[in-house]
Structure 1
């Protein structure tokens, strides 16, 4: 993977800013940002500071080497876990460090991680058992100098040589490409060609420690000692530098310092923070714990590539925004919310929520706090000069101030401010809590005259022209005409909109002595002749591309200051009478402006005071070009499960980045070496082709993506600093490998498998077709046979049905025949009964009366009849026949109902033959009642209820 974006890209703006003459302001304090140890996760003391080409900062800390990229801190420890006392970054990007019995360097590996290489291992431990602390490191004429108390270790071309101290080294310093050592016996020594050469007349400093040496002027060298003060070495002569700075050092002891562009000197102290002085020793700034530092002991100081000051403290790290055009008067100057400010008789006065405070304007601001004007302790809305008289608009009234105290209470009502009344010399109008009052300027000062009658609303936003007093109250305008005798309002008109197109009014202001009414950045003037408002396009066009403003004020230099969304901007008037919109520097004041009170006091282009909720800001507009630079964005690290690649550590080559699909969860961290107002630095990113658009701006400096599909990706990131200026995008490319089942080789294998599968399936299909044809033939044969079998079965069933019908028909015939036979048998029975009757009758005849012939014939007849009766077996044959014919029925009945008697079986047979009760009675030789009783008993044995048909049941068996 190739790293598209170069991390050494520096814009024209940055180069320009570093080339411009540096400035340290003597009014107010710079913005101070403290870093505590729980933020950087290191030790308390920070001994040395340096910066690499990418803008990353490094700190020699008690717990190791700290790296800060503007977004995150990283810590690197030495092998023996000792504290790091010094560091130096050479032109190659190596970070040389020194600690106790250890020195070497860090440099990035192929993945950008800083890896430590020890140089102390090259020392023969038999000869030198204790290296002691390495206190200073210098890059000097292709040599890296590591200085301890007893000796100096010199690294050149990979070889290490040793230079012993004549007695004992204190510290060493690189000044104007010359390297100096302090020896406690020989004084200051200059290092030349591997040897030490004493400087004349420097042994007088042997009883103190030198902590800094700097070149001031062409031939002067400033020497900073721990407890003896400051000295100038010039023409081989050493003398004290009797200045303000020297007095400070003698009082508080010094631990060195740093030069700011060869024009200012930062002096660290043990007891009282730092001072910044000019090359004449005049103190410009004094910053200590009371003024924002978290610790008063400053071990080291460093000027970064934007001329901002970093301090290594005995407990923590501090950043001072010295290159900013802003300095501040805050809690350390004993002032709070500022509503107005003014210069009067050599003093700077500020109106605050606690009263009016003042400070001498021409004297130094570095120490003194603002003093309270006696008698003003209350909410003060305004302080202004009215006809050479200082007037305070206070909650307690209109107050005249003189000599640091209230000279006169002009009126006891609460006031917002005063304005001159046109066409009425020496007359002024004041806006108070009950409306408006008239004041007259006299030889004894401003005098209250009368309250204007007819209107009792109050506001701090009002203007006057030749005809009317214009008041903005809420979102409406009041046009009020004052009587000629200045006693009352003779007309009052409330105006809710300036034109049908725009409702409400945003602000009233005077520009070039003309009153303008603003709504939604459109500016109107009033025509008295036509009694209407008309838009002034020239002024409106100035605000065409500006967010909707809430307030506008023209300063003494004709610049137009405007407030919008709790932010501030200004249209700076140029020499050609055009305006230049300046917004970026004021973004740091966003949220700190006093709501509804735009307080801007322009003394000149270098001295502009802006009221804030927590003090007063001083703005020097001439520093603007030096200050606003284009930031740089870095993709600081790229990580995924199993690996992390660190970028921006001066590595010469970035390996190609190929992420396995199993690790397709990637994480990016961003940074920007923009250390001013870090809480307002924002990032935006876009992962191509995953993200269609850039993300919203956010202060979050990391982004994670999960479950990325395989492919080539391009990560873009840009940064926007607190002044709204965007960087060029920084870019890194990487690839996510496909999973094994979506790899090219896998697709080739899939192709082969598909071809093989097609061939196999084709053969299988052909075999299947053949097999299907065979089975189709078999199936057709089976269907044919089944059909044939079905036909045969149907034929058989039909035959059986026919047979059954025949049997049923035969059975019916049999039953009919049986019935007929029974009937015949019954006739026979009747005949036999008749014959038996005849026989009985014959027996009753007396044969004795008959002759022999007749008697003989009578006997033959009797015998013949008896024989006929005795020889008639038709009934027995009938019974036998019936039992044979209905054998199956009788068998089934007996099996199902074993309790049925033979007599009941006969009854069942007769009932089956559908014989009547009478016929059955005759056959069974019982009465009809006996038949009914027999039927009842049979039903009971068969388990039939009354509703069930007995004959039908018997037929179903």
Structure 2
């Protein structure tokens, strides 16, 4: 047909010429993780899926856009709250979405929160009502293309244009960089040069609704229709793709699909889940509700950046860990807890807690479950091939299996397993619930022989050294060393060992490596020397386990690999061709916790088919699976929250911003995410807040951390993740600053500094002023003190002078008084002299001069005149009186002021009394009698108001 020539010739065979690492295992079921509506808190239906460059997943959901970062789910709604049917993410991180009469894009704001920006608002209201549902979105030649049933819109450089459908669009397809639309009338249209060009001869599909188109080798194309099945076309013809895949799709209806690296095709169905087929249409996997999906209607499928499958279901979301060396046989295959497995005569046999089951080894495992071996309904502990006989050790006894049924019961007692006996060909020993039994090979197979006497304890672990006659049995806390008798009927020798080394206590495990029995304690391996009767360490084997945690079980498989168990985890030392070993532990971390403790089962058929028993089924491991499934995880600080604000830092690409947190909001919370979806429950985180913490926190699955009461400062929150394979991510970091409280803010400190400087300045000035004042006052005080001192000195000097003057005055007064006394005395002498002279004169008057001669008379008269002259010219008394008044002028003045009525005669008397003159002297001076003096004294005392007891002279002296 012309359609074939038009659409297939330009396709580039990119998928055929690119190395492909993707791989889909055809045995078992990959790990499946279902997310229910209650998990993502959205609508039931999920129509489209995409992934951003950080690894976050996005789903077009009935309730809006769902985001999943590996840890948390976030929902973002359209303004109209309508469903979203399509989405596509460009390289810038814009998430373009389409719904009913609405399309646009979500983009992160500065806080990492997705905000919706409508593009349909750029269309006229009339045209907007006829948009219909946007079913497909494509990124093509720099344009974003939104396709609905009625229109196709083209966005470029923020300009929008549209083309109406010729009649009605079905869907559109971007194949090998060419864009096609299916129209119900015109067939297939190619978008070229901004126009839709019809491809001739494509109306063949007008009655068929094409959901997906896949490129195939040799220029062929595979077209998946809704109800008509799958069609393959080459350059000339279109015909149904007559394959297993087409038969499945025709029966269950197709809703499109996706391709895994151009090597496998994922086909969605409406009725029976999803299938994965190769390019020849052979179904490799079929996943449905019975196999672990939560819903059989697959609306969309998506291959993520690790080649794993995401399914958008009619009710929920499912993740299929396709790119993994592990697949599983679980309850859907009728398998419970697995204790052992083996392949025999083209069948895989599995010993479980529900009996022995088998499945054809040469037939694909796809949908057919395991079948119970007839006659095994009790617990089966082991299944072994010994001398080409299949023997099952079970709770029902020792059973021989032939043609998938129990052909013979060797013994009805319960058994744990069987071993061949060295140097006794045709004999095996069985470990029963109460000791050991011997079985002998006959023409009809093995037959029960007898019970070995001497040991009847229950055990389930033993090994025999092939080149000696010892049976070594480990039964905690002892190691039993037992020697069988020659006829195998009893134990001739039994010895118990509690330790195998003086340096290490206890016995860790007992194992057979390269046909030699080894005894292990704390990863040190010992052998027994029969010659010396002691245990010695094998340094070579011990060296293999350096750096490995203390093991509890060690198994050598058919390839010489050493499988070890520790802490319910599994690891392997793979044997190389040169005899060395390579440690491989990380891939098996996903099995941790699911291994059957004390019953570790590893069955290596070949490097690509290794079966491991688990508590919930059987695990298939392909050691040749490419190591591309182990990648370095990414880690993000998903959100940074403090009171009043939340920042989704995980949505912000290359976030180097430093956030500021107010001191009042110094309670911060971080949530972590790692878009690692395989074995997500085993992803662990380690973190530290610098400089608050110096060391990294221990690895933990917790994805949230809070810090309270942080002091101000700049902090760096550092985070790293480790996936289930033990691979660590790079460090993710966010920096934030806690502002100080206002009283410890830089501006506050600046104000404090200014206030301090101001205070210092003011205080300094005040101190200086005070110092100046103090100096001034000190100067004043010193001046005052000086003046006081000077005044005091002057006063003292004055007083001294006064004292001196007083002393002088007193001395002078004394002198004066003495002089006065002397003068008075002299005056009194003069008075006496005058009195004597007056007496002489009176006596001379009595002398008769007439009797005297003239000369005598002359002399007598001359004498008389001389005496009279002397008496008349002597003014001593008047001078004395005057002198006394002058000397005692102040006294007389005070006395007169105080006693104004005092008479001059009494003043004279007071003066004489002050001069301490006697009464006789006063009488003589005053020319009165002594009695008159006494009378005058009495009158003076009375005038002065003195009583009899008061001294007159003392009183006068006080004045």
**TM-score grouping bracket, smaller chain normalisation:** 0.7 to 0.9
CA gap of 1:654–1:517, structure 2 versus 1, over 3 A, is closer
CA positional deviation for 1:128: 5.0
> Where in structure 2 are the equivalents of 1:516-915 lying within 5 Å?
516-623=518-625, 625-649=627-651, 651=653, 655-762=657-764
CA gap of 1:214–1:191, structure 2 versus 1, over 3 A, is same
Query: What SS class does the counterpart of residue 79 from structure 2 fall into?
Result: coil
Query: What SS class does the counterpart of residue 498 from structure 1 fall into?
Result: coil
Query: What SS class does the counterpart of residue 295 from structure 1 fall into?
Result: coil
Per the alignment, residue 856 of structure 1 pairs with none
Per the alignment, residue 319 of structure 2 pairs with 319
CA gap of 1:503–1:652, structure 2 versus 1, over 3 A, is closer
Gapped regions of structure 2 (runs ≥ 5): 1-17, 786-959
- For CA contacts below 8 A with separation 6 or more, give which structure has more relative contact order: 1
2:402 aligned with 1:402: yes
Q: Which moved more, 1:720-729 or 1:513-522?
A: 720-729
CA positional deviation for 1:743: 2.5
CA positional deviation for 1:129: 3.0
Q: Aligned partners of 2:295, 2:481: CA distance in 1, in Å?
A: 58
Q: Which moved more, 1:765-774 or 1:287-296?
A: 765-774
Deviations 1:525-559 (A, max 9, x none): 00001100000011011112111111100000100
CA positional deviation for 1:36: 0.8
> Where in structure 2 are the equivalents of 1:123-522 lying within 5 Å?
123-465=123-465, 466-522=468-524
Q: Is the 8 A contact 2:658 2:734 kept in 1?
A: no
Q: Aligned partners of 2:666, 2:498: CA distance in 1, in Å?
A: 61
Q: Is the 8 A contact 1:20 1:626 kept in 2?
A: no
Q: Is the 8 A contact 1:427 1:441 kept in 2?
A: yes
Deviations 1:45-87 (A, max 9, x none): 0000000101011000001111111011111111211100000
Q: Is the 8 A contact 1:202 1:238 kept in 2?
A: no
Q: Is the 8 A contact 2:649 2:655 kept in 1?
A: no
Q: Aligned partners of 1:495, 1:762: CA distance in 2, in Å?
A: 91
Q: Is the 8 A contact 2:299 2:311 kept in 1?
A: yes
Give the alignment's TM-score, normalised by structure 2. 0.77
Q: Aligned partners of 1:437, 1:20: CA distance in 2, in Å?
A: 55
CA positional deviation for 1:221: 1.0
Q: Is the 8 A contact 2:439 2:450 kept in 1?
A: yes
CA positional deviation for 1:349: 0.4
Q: Aligned partners of 1:705, 1:302: CA distance in 2, in Å?
A: 39
Q: Is the 8 A contact 1:475 1:506 kept in 2?
A: no
CA positional deviation for 1:127: 4.4
Q: Aligned partners of 1:118, 1:594: CA distance in 2, in Å?
A: 56
CA gap of 1:474–1:705, structure 2 versus 1, over 3 A, is same
CA positional deviation for 1:110: 2.6
Q: Is the 8 A contact 2:83 2:99 kept in 1?
A: yes
Q: Aligned partners of 2:672, 2:540: CA distance in 1, in Å?
A: 44
Deviations 1:838-892 (A, max 9, x none): xxxxxxxxxxxxxxxxxxxxxxxxxxxxxxxxxxxxxxxxxxxxxxxxxxxxxxx
Q: Aligned partners of 1:76, 1:556: CA distance in 2, in Å?
A: 55
CA positional deviation for 1:594: 0.6
CA gap of 1:506–1:193, structure 2 versus 1, over 3 A, is same
Q: Is the 8 A contact 1:585 1:624 kept in 2?
A: no
Q: Is the 8 A contact 1:200 1:236 kept in 2?
A: no
Per the alignment, residue 89 of structure 1 pairs with 89
Query: What SS class does the counterpart of residue 507 from structure 2 fall into?
Result: coil
Per the alignment, residue 118 of structure 1 pairs with 118
Query: What SS class does the counterpart of residue 544 from structure 1 fall into?
Result: coil
CA positional deviation for 1:697: 1.7
Q: Is the 8 A contact 1:201 1:238 kept in 2?
A: no
Deviations 1:627-671 (A, max 9, x none): 211111111222323333322435466544222333322222211
Query: What SS class does the counterpart of residue 699 from structure 1 fall into?
Result: coil
CA gap of 1:543–1:651, structure 2 versus 1, over 3 A, is closer
Query: What SS class does the counterpart of residue 250 from structure 2 fall into?
Result: helix
Q: Which moved more, 1:200-209 or 1:68-77?
A: 200-209
Q: Is the 8 A contact 1:230 1:249 kept in 2?
A: yes
Deviations 1:326-367 (A, max 9, x none): 111011111100000000111110001111001111111111
Q: Aligned partners of 1:146, 1:227: CA distance in 2, in Å?
A: 25
Q: Aligned partners of 1:374, 1:496: CA distance in 2, in Å?
A: 43
Q: Aligned partners of 1:233, 1:194: CA distance in 2, in Å?
A: 27
Deviations 1:458-491 (A, max 9, x none): 3222122222111111221111111111111111
Deviations 1:901-953 (A, max 9, x none): xxxxxxxxxxxxxxxxxxxxxxxxxxxxxxxxxxxxxxxxxxxxxxxxxxxxx
CA positional deviation for 1:756: 2.9
CA positional deviation for 1:206: 1.7
CA positional deviation for 1:186: 1.7
Q: Aligned partners of 1:664, 1:217: CA distance in 2, in Å?
A: 62
Q: Aligned partners of 2:206, 2:628: CA distance in 1, in Å?
A: 42
Query: What SS class does the counterpart of residue 754 from structure 1 fall into?
Result: helix
CA gap of 1:218–1:545, structure 2 versus 1, over 3 A, is same
CA gap of 1:409–1:124, structure 2 versus 1, over 3 A, is same
Deviations 1:274-318 (A, max 9, x none): 111111111111111111111111100001101111000001100
Q: Aligned partners of 2:127, 2:723: CA distance in 1, in Å?
A: 54
Per the alignment, residue 902 of structure 1 pairs with none
Q: Is the 8 A contact 2:434 2:459 kept in 1?
A: no
CA positional deviation for 1:224: 0.5
CA positional deviation for 1:119: 1.0
Q: Is the 8 A contact 1:420 1:427 kept in 2?
A: yes
Per the alignment, residue 917 of structure 1 pairs with none
Q: Is the 8 A contact 1:93 1:650 kept in 2?
A: no
Query: What SS class does the counterpart of residue 503 from structure 1 fall into?
Result: coil
Q: Which moved more, 1:126-135 or 1:652-661?
A: 652-661
Gapped regions of structure 1 (runs ≥ 5): 1-17, 782-957
Q: Is the 8 A contact 1:109 1:651 kept in 2?
A: no
CA gap of 1:460–1:100, structure 2 versus 1, over 3 A, is same
Q: Is the 8 A contact 1:48 1:300 kept in 2?
A: yes
CA positional deviation for 1:178: 1.5
Per the alignment, residue 786 of structure 1 pairs with none
Q: Aligned partners of 2:36, 2:757: CA distance in 1, in Å?
A: 69
CA positional deviation for 1:767: 7.8
Q: Aligned partners of 1:404, 1:652: CA distance in 2, in Å?
A: 62
Q: Is the 8 A contact 2:20 2:263 kept in 1?
A: no
CA positional deviation for 1:403: 1.2
Aligned residues: 763
2:68 aligned with 1:46: no
Q: Which moved more, 1:114-123 or 1:192-201?
A: 192-201
Per the alignment, residue 4 of structure 2 pairs with none
Q: Aligned partners of 1:21, 1:335: CA distance in 2, in Å?
A: 31
Q: Which moved more, 1:620-629 or 1:759-768?
A: 759-768
Q: Which moved more, 1:38-47 or 1:456-465?
A: 456-465
Query: What SS class does the counterpart of residue 758 from structure 1 fall into?
Result: helix
Q: Is the 8 A contact 1:110 1:655 kept in 2?
A: no
Deviations 1:88-128 (A, max 9, x none): 01122211100001111112223322222111111122345
CA-based RMSD of the aligned residues comes to: 2.2
